Amino acid sequence: SQQGEEDPQALSIQEGENATMNCSYKTSINNLQWYRQNSGRGLVHLILIRSNEREKHSGRLRVTLDTSKKRSSLFITASRAADTASYFCATDRNDMRFGAGTRLTVKP
């Protein structure tokens, strides 16, 4: 399966700091997506980055993709307590698979 593997498993930072989460995958992809999940809820799509893109922005979020290393990173700038959630990456290939996620805690 074309599953993304997120790291770290957990991340705890202070409000205002920047957060970095990573995703590794194993084979070639057409696109990679990042999702957020607030506690006990469904996943919400954040950003889709295609294999021919290297970087993408959405508000305080920035996603990079390095296809040579098979790695993507999600950066959250000036984090807020409301950013506390689990973050997942998923890659395509007929169907989407998700890793175990990174649990981000932003302390006020």
Partner 1 sequence: DVKVTQSSRYLVKRTGEKVFLECVQDMDHENMFWYRQDPGLGLRLIYFSYDVKMKEKGDIPEGYSVSREKKERFSLILESASTNQTSMYLCASTWDIQETQYFGPGTRLLVL
Q: Which residues bind partner 1 (CB under 8 A)?
A: 1, 30-31, 33, 35, 40-45, 48, 88, 90, 92-101
Whats the size of the chain, residue-wise? 108
CB of 16 to partner 1, least distance (A): 29
29 token code pair: 């992809």
The least distance separating partner 1 from the CB of residue 30, rounded to whole angstroms, comes to 6
Strand pairing category for 10-14 and 102-107: parallel
Residue nearer to partner 1 on the CB measure, 27 or 108: 27
> Which residue's CB is nearer to partner 1, number 9 or number 18?
9
Strand 43-50 versus strand 31-37 pairing type: antiparallel
Residue with tokens 């700091």: 17
Q: Rounded to whole angstroms, how far apart are CA atoms 23 and 26? A: 10
Cβ of residue 101: shortest distance to partner 1, in angstroms? 6
99/106 with CB nearer partner 1: 99
